[in-house]
Homo-oligomer: A and B are copies of this chain.
Amino acid sequence: MLQRLILPARSRLERIRKAAPGQAPGLVVPPEDSARTALDVVGFSAESFEEDKDATLEQAFAIRTKHDFLWLDFDGLGDGELIREAGAALGIHKLTLEDIVHPHQRAKVEYFADYVYIVVRMVSFTDKLEREQLSIILGRDYVLTFQEGKPGDCLEPVRERLRRSRGGIRAHGTDYLAYALIDAVIDHYFPVLERYADQLEGLEAQVSHRPYLDVVWQLHGIRRELLQLQSAVLPQRDLVQSLIREPCSLVADDTRLHLRDVADHEGQLLDLLLSYREMAQALIEIHLNVASNRMNEVMQVLTIIGAIFMPLSFIAGVYGMNFDPVSPHNMPELRWRYGYFGTLALMGVVALVQLVLFYRKGWLGRMH
């Protein structure tokens, strides 16, 4: 639990460092811990479709000749050689390739003469928040995608639509495919957000029952991860806006219309993220309230017990004094016939008066 706040940011920092030493730029050398690359090839025209899992580059270009459009999906960045070759064959800039193999970029879009380079960030939630960079290169008749190779795949629904040609996706060409990919990535944020909703709901229930310190740690952790999600979504909104507005021949007008839809989804995402963060904050504040309230309650009990028994004990103490009966003025009460019962009665009256007083002040009711 303890490492929850700092560790994720640290590990991200370390990955950035490993990728950004003082070396020359443009070196397409993937980090050592990259996952091995699996190349999935999809060729399609309006009417045709062909798919080859775990193919070689030769197989890929063979498929290309048979169809209008090609989609190469590199899952895992470990095979630098393969990526360099593919890049060289399609005329991808060295800096683009370097960005691809160092998966620590912020979401962005960069326009080149022959292609558009898009970086988005996929998220998933199994045990913890998992983030993965997806690089998309949109060319005239090809789309390249590069995933970090972590488990889970947001792109499967798109592949499925291509297979079944649902929504006429095959006919719309590569820019529509790129849109569909971005859309699929954004759509995957919603179930992740739901996980946080679950967590918050769980914590909300605990806040009022068991004010353990854990709750605060977890709430801070959730707030932090929601902030990370937000900082992942914000540049993606700029990216989509840029795709909508930038005059670039690779993106058709109709696709821009669809991208407006993606922008709408991102707006909703940001609204939700904001309101969840507000709630996490509110829960932290309420938690503090609950804790201080419990303390007040405890305090009250002590006060009342103390305030009632102190005077009683004092009375008992007085009649425990050993004044010598040689003087008739020394504690004559002790020798009265009903002195004892009288004293008990006095104590009872004192206690009762106090109880009534405290009741009137509302101190006997529950405070929470």
Contacts and interface: CB of A to CB of B under 8 A. Distances in A.
Interface in A339-354: 339-341, 343-344
A213 B290 contact: yes
A299 interface: yes
Given A228-B275, A368-B212, A300 B298 contact: yes
A302 B197 CA distance: 39
Interface string A121-132: 000000000000
Interface in A1-43: 2-3, 5-7, 9-10, 12-14, 16-17, 20-27
A334 interface: yes
A197 B307 CA distance: 42
B211 A367 contact: yes
Interface residues of A, number: 136
Contact of A166 (B14, B24, B321, B331): B24
A101 interface: no
A316 B306 contact: no
B305 A310 contact: yes
A319 to B, nearest CB: 4
Given A166-B24, A268-B16, A305 B307 contact: yes
B2 A208 contact: yes
A312 B272 CA distance: 57
A161 B106 contact: no
Interface string A224-258: 10011001000000000000000000000000011
A191 interface: yes
A344 B267 CA distance: 72
Given A191-B17, A282-B220, A276 B157 contact: no
A258 B98 CA distance: 11
Contact of A320 (B6, B283, B316, B327): B316
A263 to B, nearest CB: 10
A20 B279 contact: no
B167 A27 contact: yes
A169 interface: yes
Given A23-B166, A319-B321, A340-B331, A295 B299 contact: yes
A204 interface: yes
A286 interface: yes
Given A167-B25, A311-B305, A327 B322 contact: no
16 contacts: A3-B201, A5-B282, A12-B272, A13-B194, A13-B197, A22-B184, A25-B167, A106-B267, A223-B282, A291-B293, A298-B299, A299-B299, A316-B317, A317-B317, A321-B334, A329-B337
